[in-house]
A and B are shown apart, each in its own frame.
Chain A
Amino acid sequence: MPAAADPHVALRHVQHSFGRRVIFQDLSCEAPAGQLTVVVGGSGSGKSTLLRLIGGLIRPRSGEVLVEGRDITKLREWQLKEVRLGLGMLFQNGALLDSLSVFANVSFPLREHTDLDEAAIAETVHESLARTGLKDVDDLLPPQLSGGMRKRVALARAIVRRPHVLLCDEPFSGLDPISALRIERLLMDLNESGLTLLVVSHDAPSTQRMADRVLVLLPGQCVQGTPAQLLEHEDPRVRALLGEAIDPALVAAEEEH
């Protein structure tokens, strides 16, 4: 396990474009181990692309993507499999296998990669679901779930094997405020227990509350710092993305967290 100060995930001089559209010119940023890092930026700034680069789903045009010390851009597909065993990813729409029940979906990683017996699998699955606040949903199919429930099931699936790093693509979008708060609490609990989190989010208030560190993606550059630092940033865009016009006293109170 890397030391607490080591970056768990880092990008170095990453260049990427889709066709003619340049997403990143020279991106270098990091998500420190054990911390909850939130990625913010305008629409189309490459937030989802960033997560996909870290997950190895996309290869950058140039640059290095380091996950737990390894440069994954140099790895072949079968080697990436190993790296991904330590990662968990929550997609924006859940990406659940829609012909399988909730139980089958959440138990999927366990069946594929562990030797647990049926009883142990059931216990682990229910524990994971309970952490996201879900009960008695085993036999439902994804199309029968609401958007919020789908996200929670996907989150349960992403953490069921206790990954080292959890990547979340807009976990709060489409959720009612109560469900969103529940997810926020869960993510902070997970972080508390040692999990490194990288969360893409539009929601400024929750970002301020939960982030240890924030990566702001602006066209052509990336600004990094704590929420408090960034709220004092000279660039008004940065302050706006962090939700400026919120009572500073609230931020001070959260600093103790």
Chain B
Amino acid sequence: MLGLVSEMGFLATSFVVSLGQLGVFAGRIAGALVRPPVRVRELVLEIYKLGVLSVSVVVVAGLAVGMVLGLQGYSILARFGAAESLGSVVGLSLLRELGPVLTALLVTGRAGSATTAEIGTMVATEQLDGLRMMSVDPVHYIVVPRALGLALVMPLLSALFITCGIAGGWLVGVLLMGLDSGRYLTSLQGSTEFVNDVVGSFVKAAVFGVIVGLVATWRGWRSEPTSAGVSAATTSTVVIGSLSILLGDYMITALWGL
């Protein structure tokens, strides 16, 4: 019994310690962000690796989710004779929740884990120490472009996801179910507001981007310099990142009053 309590106490303290380490790490990133030189080439490369290479996943997933929303939404709404509101159902679900959250989960799994593996391998092969010995701050050269890249691509990918989702809903509703195209769009426009829905959607995506950027780079940074260590770090990125996104989603939704 006592063992269980001390076990829990240990978990609690190590959780708090980890949180503190993450905070310190985030502080180092923030400090490096404002220090010149600005590494544009590295940032562009990261945007390519994290954003461009995620586009196909995001587009396909967005279309698929939109089409499912269209099917499910139509069948439920049609029961109440409210099939014309399909546009608004699809649009609002995507904008407020499914777009930012699903995009963030996809990106965490794809780009986030890749980033963790990359940095973890660099730790294992002493590349980070090599940079230090050349008087280059590894946080500035390696971590910042990746964390910043993840934060920047997230809102863009989320917008792509939502747009494809709306298109998917349109494909099902209009082409498959025979709804009027104009009504789909008007119902969509009529129920969505710029500030609360669209801006809120981007804010969520941006916050998720920062979360994933921090978690992915941090887990890579702290990984054990062995193959098993890198693998464990990658897994923890997906787990911690996903949980943080879902928790963060609740907190933002509650605070924003949506």
Listed in ascending order, the chain A residues whose CB lies under 8 Å from chain B are: 52, 55-57, 77, 81-82, 84-85, 87-89, 91-93, 95-98, 108-109, 112-113, 157
Contacts and interface: CB of A to CB of B under 8 A. Distances in A.
A171 to B, nearest CB: 15
B130 A96 contact: yes
B132 A95 contact: no
B135 A95 contact: no
A109 B134 contact: yes
A92 B127 CA distance: 11
A89 B135 contact: no
A89 B126 CA distance: 12
Interface in B126-142: 126-127, 129-137
Interface in B230-244: none
25 contacts: A55-B133, A56-B132, A57-B133, A84-B133, A85-B135, A87-B133, A88-B133, A89-B130, A92-B126, A93-B125, A95-B126, A95-B127, A95-B129, A95-B130, A96-B127, A97-B127, A97-B130, A97-B131, A98-B125, A98-B127, A109-B134, A112-B134, A112-B135, A112-B136, A113-B135
Nearest to B128: A95
Q: Main secondary structure on chain A at its contact with chain B? A: mixed
A57 B129 contact: yes
A112 B122 CA distance: 20
B135 A57 contact: no
Nearest to A86: B135
B200 to A, nearest CB: 38
Task: List 5 tightest A-B contacts by C-beta distance, closest first.
Answer: A95-B130, A95-B126, A89-B133, A81-B135, A84-B135
Contacts of A112: 134-136
